[in-house]
């Protein structure tokens, strides 16, 4: 109704093709909405661009849509990076996102297929999916199903996954006090790094702090956060 009353505010972008015709490279959804509103004319910007540039513009516009789920965004960003050999930073600048946001979305492609489908169906939010990346194999899939069945919040999901990653309490050298201390340390680190790390503490007292990063730019960002 607003398009019928006020017309199309934002122009579509087209490029000339053979026979005096034009091809839409950005704004196809707006064009379709204008047809439904029975508009005779709509504003358009004409750009003489190559096939490669046209594909890039169409991909970028698709990623910027508000109705995409996180998995669709991740796949579109992956295609943009693969087809145009972009770094995470370049892709972020192209779509108007932060590099960290782009890196987090791309990491979703590492999820199990069953978990990806839950994200695609909007059964899991972005925060759930990011937390699940700390798990692998069937444990990741089974945990995802529990999250959906119980309707867990993102915070509850993060707490559940931290418990799953903890060593078994019954080990002799891991008292409740020690486990509680490790949990507090995890919470402190998560304020700096989010869910991109894992603490693996052995009964001997030794352990590892494992930090996940997607590329050198992501690693530099982690170093800045730690400082």
Nearest Cα to 108, choosing from 86, 80, 76?
A: 76
Sequence-separated (6 or more) residues with CB below 8 Å from residue 123: 148
Sequence-separated (6 or more) residues with CB below 8 Å from residue 110: 133
What is the spatial distance between Cα 159 and Cα 145, in angstroms, rounded to a whole number?
A: 16
- For 154-177, b/e burial (b = at least 16 CB within 10 A) is beebbebbbeeebbeeeeeebeee
Q: Among this protein's residues, is 66 annotated catalytic?
A: no
DSSP 49: -
Determine which one of 28, 72, 90, 120 is catalytic.
28
> Measured between alpha carbons, how far is residue 210 from residues 37, 47, 127, 167, 172 in Å?
55, 48, 20, 15, 24
- For 194-225, b/e burial (b = at least 16 CB within 10 A) is bbbbbbebeeeeeeeeeeebbeebbeebbeee
| Residues taking part in catalysis | 28
């Amino acid at each position: 109704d607003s398009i019928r009353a006020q017309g199309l505010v934002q122009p579509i972008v087209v490029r000339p093709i053979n026979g005096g015709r034009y091809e839409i490279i950005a704004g196809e959804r707006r064009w379709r909405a204008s047809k439904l509103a029975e508009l005779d004319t709509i504003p358009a910007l004409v750009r003489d661009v190559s096939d490669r540039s046209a594909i890039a513009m169409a991909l970028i516009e698709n990623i910027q849509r508000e109705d995409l789920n996180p998995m669709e965004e991740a796949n579109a960003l992956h295609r943009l990076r693969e087809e145009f050999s972009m770094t995470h930073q370049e892709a972020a600048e192209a779509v108007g996102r932060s590099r960290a946001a782009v890196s987090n979305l791309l990491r979703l492609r590492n999820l199990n297929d069953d978990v990806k489908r839950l994200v695609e169906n909007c059964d899991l939010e972005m925060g759930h999916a990011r937390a699940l990346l700390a798990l692998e194999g069937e444990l990741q899939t089974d945990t995802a199903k529990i999250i959906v069945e119980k309707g867990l919040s993102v915070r509850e999901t993060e707490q559940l996954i931290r418990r799953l990653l903890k060593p078994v309490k019954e080990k002799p050298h891991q008292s409740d006090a020690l486990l509680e201390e490790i949990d507090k340390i995890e919470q402190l680190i998560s304020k700096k790094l989010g869910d991109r790390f894992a603490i693996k503490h052995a009964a001997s007292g030794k352990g590892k702090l494992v930090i996940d990063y997607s590329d050198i730019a992501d690693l530099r960002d982690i170093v800045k956060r730690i400082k």
